[in-house]
Amino acid sequence: MGEFIKTQNSFASGQVDSEFFARDDINGLSQLENMDVIAGGGLTRRRGLVSVADLRSTARLIPFSVSEEEDYLLALTDGHILVYSDGVLIRDLLAPWNSAAHARLQYAQRFGTMIFVHPDYEPRILKKTENSFSLTWFSFSRNDADMTVNIPFMKFDDADDIKITVTQNAAGNNYATFTTSAPFWSDRHVNGRLLLLGRQWVITKYVSPTVVTAYTNGPYTLPSSAISDWAEAVFSNTRGWPCSISFHQDRLVFGGSRDWPAGVWMSQVGRHNNFNVGTGLDDEAIFITLLSQRRQEICTVVSSDNLQILTSVGEWAISSKPLTPSVVDIKQHTSVGSIASRYLPPQKVEGATVFISATKKDIRELALDELGENYNANDLCALSKSIMTDPVDISYNGDTHQLFVVMASGDMAVLNKNSALGISAWGVYKTRGLFKSVAAVGGETYVVTQRDSSYFLEKFSDSAMVDAGRYEFSFTASALPLRAGGHNPKKIRIRKISARVLDTKSLFINGARVSLPNSVYEDGAPGYDGDVTINVLGTRGDTISPMWTLHGTEPFRATILSVTIHGWYAI
């Protein structure tokens, strides 16, 4: 048998899947639970959670940063927006969305204003004034001269063959009766807008599936025949509302709607309520439809160096600078696709846009190539796909370099990422209960937890050794299968296992508690720094199972810099 000493002093790849167990170039682990990979490549027990507030129901968390000095956390519950400042509830606003609607609710923020959109709800504006918050309707700007509204209009596919016969109506000179060539109207059309005869019309009364009454602000001339050249307001109770939203180059951007999922509408420059395309001047509104061989459903739009458009089947970008109606340089760069049924907000991580793919198994990093011309969608969890199981929320904390992904199971996948130091390590967080939502704001990471049948707002804290003041949690790190001398051993005889630790007060190696000086348990005393060892004598034919597992159950700090195995092997 050949003697070996095997030291692993970097765990920078985190937990990896079993298909990579035979690789020599991966500094990973077969299991990483409730631990983080630190900047130097070592491991440390995760921070505990401290209680912030009790919640009346489950909630979706949204960060709301007004400035570097003014941060708020929004907790959306059933019919309410709870506004927190430094963990203190300062406002409870009534909101139109029930809990079921939260999954598709999207938002964009500019200074102290956040606009919410949902395909089934008229957009709302959350505004922070000097001393208060308010939630109001989003309204398109009006033209005082003729009271028209600067909302986009278009002809929908199901109206292509519909002709409208216009006749006078007894209600007045500015009223008309619209009769369609086939059943088309419903009571949802009331208060909706049409564009025909060069005028905007408001539908005032539903009569039948073929007849409605409409009003226009001014005189009109009756046409001599039925009209086929007419359009509807893009956004309405009938056609639905914007699905996604962003601000880009001082334009408000709506991406997709319920009835036109591939459309992109951009407001006039600096006039975010005005979507009038006018005569195509540089600062006027823009409308485009994504065209390709596959049906595109826009999932979200992201303002970065370019305007990124993430659809259900691919990733597009508009690179025009400045972006004008006459210059819209748009193309599809990659074909990964995003989740359409739920809004998982893309995160800015080290200059790239990180999003969850349509398969719900990939976390992709959308970044420009070295020439700055084409985007690549690199897979951030290529080594750890088994960790990703049905994600339901995501947030990135730039202060701690951590990406948090809440999964439907109630566990949380956590990526410790620091490209400058070569760290890209996935692990799993678990708590006594379930994680439901996550948001990072002001350098803090907040979570919604469900414990038994109750819901709580909590946050991670460096000083917390347990969760919510009373729930202890264990941590585990297990080695990859041992490779010795570049080979897969047939038999292994281990003589001892040692770990180099920092500020550690409790640690088990392969189930055996390591011996630490009694002084580390004195009140206020630092943990132990140095090497700890357990002696292991025995031959193993199972060389796939981990040779060592670090474990802890007590509420004490633990940091591991390296692990060394001494022994013999046969191939």
| Residue 463 in this model has a pLDDT that exceeds 90 | yes
Class of domain 153-233: mainly beta
| pLDDT tens track for 128-176 | 988 899 999 999 999 987 789 999 999 999 999 999 999 999 999 999 9
User: In degrees rounded to 5, what are phi and psi of residue 103?
Assistant: -60, -35
Tell me the pLDDT tens digit for each residue of 485-499: 677 888 888 999 999
Q: What tens digit of pLDDT does each residue of 221-243 get?
A: 999 999 999 999 999 999 999 99
297, pLDDT greater than 70: yes
- Average pLDDT rounded to a whole number, residues 518-537: 89
Average pLDDT along the chain: 94
The pTM of this model reads: 0.95
**Count of Cβ atoms closer than 10 Å to residue 369 Cβ:** 10
Give the pLDDT of residue 32: 98
In the three-class reduction of DSSP (H, G, I as helix; E, B as strand; rest coil), residue 36 is classed as strand
What is the predicted pLDDT for the residue at 4? 86
Q: Across residues 361-378, what is the average pLDDT? A: 91
Separation between Cα atoms, residue 454 and residue 109, nearest integer Å: 31
Q: For residue 131, what pLDDT is reported?
A: 82
Q: How far apart are CA 416 and CA 397, in angstroms?
A: 10
Per the listing, tokens 């004034």 go with 129
Q: 364: closest CA among 392, 418, 398, 403?
A: 403
Q: Would the CA dihedral through 33, 38, 44, 45 be positive or negative?
A: negative
Task: For residue 518, name the pLDDT band (cuts at 50, 70, 90).
Answer: confident
Query: What average pLDDT does range 86-91 have in this prediction?
Result: 95
Laid out side by side, the sheet with 298-303 consists of 298-303, 307-311, 315-318, 330-334
Q: Where are the domains of the chain?
A: 2-46+475-570, 153-233
Is the model's pLDDT at 341 over the cut of 70?
Answer: yes
Distances (CA, A) of 340 to 4, 53, 103, 105: 52, 32, 10, 12
Average pLDDT over residues 206-217: 97
What's the whole-number mean pLDDT along residues 16-30?
93
Q: What is the mean pLDDT of residues 402-415?
A: 98
**Distance, CA of 311 to CA of 332 (rounded, Å):** 10
197: left (phi over 0), alpha (psi -120 to 50) or beta: left
Sign of torsion over alpha carbons 108, 298, 412, 404: negative
| Residues 499-512 pLDDT 10s | 999 999 999 999 99
Residue 24: pLDDT band (50, 70, 90) is confident
Q: Residue 545, CB half-sphere, CA atoms under 13 Å: how many? A: 7
Q: Is the pLDDT of residue 537 over 80?
A: no
pLDDT score of 253:
98
Question: Residue 259: is its pLDDT beyond 70?
Answer: yes
Q: Report the helix count and the strand count for the chain, using DSSP H and E.
A: 0, 49
Rounded distance between C-alpha atoms, residue 261 and residue 500, angstroms: 56
> What tokens were used for 80?
């309410």
Q: Is the pLDDT of residue 1 over 70?
A: no
What residues are paired with 476 via a beta bridge?
A: 33, 551
**DSSP structure string for 216-266:** -SS-----SS-B---EEESSBTTTB-EEEEEEETTEEEEEEESS-TTEEEE
pLDDT given at position 295 = 84
pLDDT at 485: 66
* pLDDT at residue number 52: 98
Distance set, CA 64 to CA 92, 114, 139, 202 (Å): 15, 8, 22, 36
